[in-house]
Amino acid sequence: MEFSAEQIAGLLGGIIEGQKDIKVNNISKIEDAQEGTLAFLANPKYTSYIYSTKASIVLVNNDFKPDKTISATLIKVEDAYKAFASLLEIYQQYKSNKIGISDKAVIEKTAQIGEDVYIGANVYIGENAIIEKEAKIYPNTYIGDRVTIGEHTTIYSGTNIYSDCLLGKYCTVHSGVVIGSDGFGFAPQTDSEFKKVPQIGNVVIENNVEIGANTTIDRATIGSTRIKNGVKLDNLVQIAHNVEIGENTVIASQTGVSGSTKIGKNCMIAGQVGFAGHLNIGNNVKIGAQSGVHKNIPDNSILQGTPVVPYREWYKTASILMKLPEMKVTIDKLKKQIES
């Protein structure tokens, strides 16, 4: 599908410098772009490429002033990076605008299917499930009984959503995700064995949530495991039973959150962070990679390390650790002098 500079400028509220009717059919990086593609310039270190790029259209910031002639048509916007991200979103919508139900899908009679949905081959949709309008469910996906998939939500292939779980509007769930599997609940017995505690809750995922590939979100023992509006989870994240993740929090890959921990809104959690159970993490908290969180964290904290400490303290400790071999040599020399 082709778009003209005039159409793109209209979508982004931009100003054209060059040919308004020139068209593009793809997107590329400014340094290796080809004719017929659109690129963007936001980072000043890439400025030199704008004079040699073969891109037909380039998004630039309003304050950009060229030093020499540019062959590409420019579209000036307030923030080129944000505008490019918005354009990618629009492009993705056009690219994946599938509608229709495969004759190889299995849909129980009691399921409710909205208008203009896409349901691919080998999808199973259980009893009394609700698939709202313009939702997309890609092949080889399991949707359990009484599951609700909200409007405009996309579920990619190989996803398993267990019974009674609720997904809101405009969510994206990537391949291999498991939502609603049993929480890790086992009660120790007197004979050193463990008895499974039935997990009878569900998972509630609110609106505009994105869940990365192979992430797992366990159902609650009682009540709901809850992922609130705007949360973004990376690939390979583990969310345990009865966890609550606050609005617009982002969590990077290989992080694990133990049962009944509550993480506030607008938090940024780096990769491979481990949370103990039953903790309360405040709002606007930032936690560095490979940290171990063992205690409640107040609002606006920035932490690092295992166990976590304020990040400035952690860097001081790390700098001392680097000097330990040298310090040991000095201590050994002093020890010998004292003994002699």
266 is written with which tokens? 């607008």
Is 174 designated active site?
no
196 contacts: CB under 8 Å, gap ≥ 6: 182, 185, 186, 187
Contact 275, 290 (CB under 8 A): no
Decide the pairing of beta strands 262-263 and 244-245. Answer: parallel
Q: Where are the beta strands (DSSP E) in 240-315?
A: 244-245, 250-251, 256-257, 262-263, 268-269, 274-275, 280-281, 286-287, 292-293, 302-304, 309-310
d(CA 252, CA 287): 11
List Cα–Cα distances, 289 to 74, 233, 235, 306, 320, in angstroms. 39, 15, 15, 10, 19
**Within its chain, how far is the Cα of 36 from the centroid?**
31
Q: Which of 152, 174, 241, 278 is catalytic?
A: 241
- Three-state DSSP class for 51? helix
As a 3-state breakdown, the chain gives helix, strand, coil percent values, each rounded to 5, of 20, 30, 50
d(CA 18, CA 14): 12
Sign of CA dihedral 60, 209, 147, 139: positive
List Cα–Cα distances, 103 to 42, 63, 100, 106, 118, in angstroms. 46, 54, 9, 8, 12
Place of tokens 């609940």: 185
By annotation, the residues acting in catalysis are 241
